[in-house]
Structure 1
Amino acid sequence: MDELMLVAATPFKRNNKDSLSIKDFEFVLSFDLKWMAPDVASKVRDKAIGSQLLKFEGAELAPNFDISTIEIPHGFKPSESIFKERSVIEDIIAMIVASCGTSARETTALINKKQEQLEDLVDIEVAGILTAKELGCDIDLIYDRVYSKVFSEKEIST
Structure 2
Amino acid sequence: MSLRTAVAAPFREEGDTRMGESAFVVALSLDRDWFSPDQAKRLIDVAASEGLLRREDGTLEARFDPQETAVPDGFEPDESILRKRSTFERLLGTLVEAGEDKQEAVAAINGLQSDLAVTVEAAAALYAHRRGIDVSDLAGTARREL
Shorter chain as normaliser: what TM range?
A: 0.7 to 0.9
Q: Does 1:105 align with 2:100?
A: yes
Cα distance in structure 1, aligned partners of 2:58 and 2:129: 29
Superposed displacement of residue 138, structure 1: 2.3
Matches within 5 A, 1:1-158: 2-56=1-55, 59-94=58-93, 103=98, 105=100, 109=105, 112=108, 116=112, 119-129=115-125, 135=134, 137-139=136-138, 140=140, 146-147=145-146
TM-score (norm 2): 0.73
RMSD between superposed Cα atoms in Å: 3.4
CA contact (8 A) 2:129 2:135 kept: yes
The letter of the residue matching 1:64 is: R
Superposed displacement of residue 112, structure 1: 4.0
CA contact (8 A) 2:11 2:19 kept: yes
CA contact (8 A) 2:88 2:121 kept: yes
Cα distance in structure 2, aligned partners of 1:117 and 1:36: 38
Superposed displacement of residue 91, structure 1: 2.2
The letter of the residue matching 2:18 is: S
Q: Percent identity?
A: 27
Structure 2 unaligned blocks of 5 or more: none
Structure 1 unaligned blocks of 5 or more: 148-158
Cα distance in structure 2, aligned partners of 1:117 and 1:131: 10
Cα distance in structure 1, aligned partners of 2:53 and 2:99: 17
TM-score (norm 1): 0.68
